[in-house]
Structure 1
Amino acid sequence: MKTFFILCALVVAVSARPDGFYTDKYDNVNLDEILSNKRLLGPYIKCALDQGKCAPDAKELKSHIKEALENYCAKCTKAQQDGTRRVIGHLINNEPESWKLLTAKYDKDGRYVAKYETELRTIA
C-alpha cells in the first residue's frame, strides 16, 4: 500500500499518466538507501499515517496507496511493482509496528493484508 504503502508508496508515485499507469517520474528512487536508513524512511511513514508533513512526492504517493492495494498495483509500472513488493516486504519483516499502523489505516477490514503478508513475509 507500493508504498507501506508509502512505500507502496514511494514507488507508486503520483499521478496517473494518460495511458492509465502512474507516472514513472520516481521509478529511479534509490529504495535501498531509504529502506536502510530510518531517518529517511521515517518521514514517508509519518506522511502516510498523517502524522507529519509530506514532501511533494510522498503526498502524491499517499494519494494512490489505497487504490494500489485494492488493484494489486495494476496501474504501476514494472519498476513500481517490484519496488512496492520490496517496500512492503521490508515493512513486514523489519518495521512490524509501522506495518501494523499502516495496515490499520489503509486496510481496516484486512482484505489485502493476508495476500501481501503471506507472499512477502520472507522478502527483505
Structure 2
Amino acid sequence: MNLLPGILVFNCLLISVFGQNSITSRLDKLDINYVLSTGRILDNYLKCIMDKGPCTVEGRELKGAIPEAIIRGCKKCSEPTKKIVKKSANYIIKNRPGVWTKLKKHFDPEEKYLEDFNKFLTS
C-alpha cells in the first residue's frame, strides 16, 4: 500500500492552513452562540472533531484549527477565530466536563500543551 499520496495531501493541507500569516476562514462567521445553545448541532461538531461522525466545511476548519490553538495558543488564528475557540472551549469545560476530558485525550494525550492552552483561554 502506497502511503505517499496521502502524506502529500496531508502536507499540502498543513501548508495551506499553517503557512498563512493568519487562519481566517468560515469559522470567522460561525454563529458560535447558536451552536453552543443547540445541543444537536454542538453534538454534531463534537462528533466531527473527535472523528466520530461526518463534518461540515466549518467542522473541518474547526478541527484543523484545534491543533493550532492547543500547540501555539492560536497565534495564527484570526481574532474572530480566537474568540470562537475560547468561547467554545470555555463552554465545554464548564458545561460538558466529560467531553472536555475526551477532547484533551484526543488532541493532547500527554497534556504537554494544557498549561499554555489554559493561559490562552484566559487571555
Contact 1:34/1:40 (CA < 8 Å) preserved in 2? Answer: yes
Change (3 A) 1:22 1:117: closer
Question: What do you get for the CA RMSD once the two structures are aligned?
Answer: 2.3
Stretches of structure 2 that go unaligned for 5 or more consecutive residues are 1-15
- Equivalent-residue separation in structure 2 for 1:110 and 1:103 (angstroms): 7
Runs of 4+ aligned residues of structure 1 deviating over 6 Å after TM superposition are none
The superposition leaves residues 26-71 of structure 1 with CA deviations (integer Å, 9 ceiling, x where unpaired) of: 3121111111111110011011111111112212321232132101
Residue 112 of structure 1 corresponds to 113
Say which one has the larger Rg: 2
Amino acid across the alignment from 2:44: P
Normalization by structure 2: what TM-score?
A: 0.74
TM alignment of 1:1-124, pairs within 5 A: 16=17, 19-117=20-118, 120=121
Structure with greater helix percent = 2
Identity of aligned residues (%): 28
Task: Single out whichever of 81-90 and 58-67 deviates more from structure 2.
Answer: 58-67
Which gives a bigger RCO, structure 1 or 2 (Cα 8 Å, sep 6+)? 1
Normalization by structure 1: what TM-score?
A: 0.74
Residue 10 of structure 1 corresponds to none
Stretches of structure 1 that go unaligned for 5 or more consecutive residues are 1-14
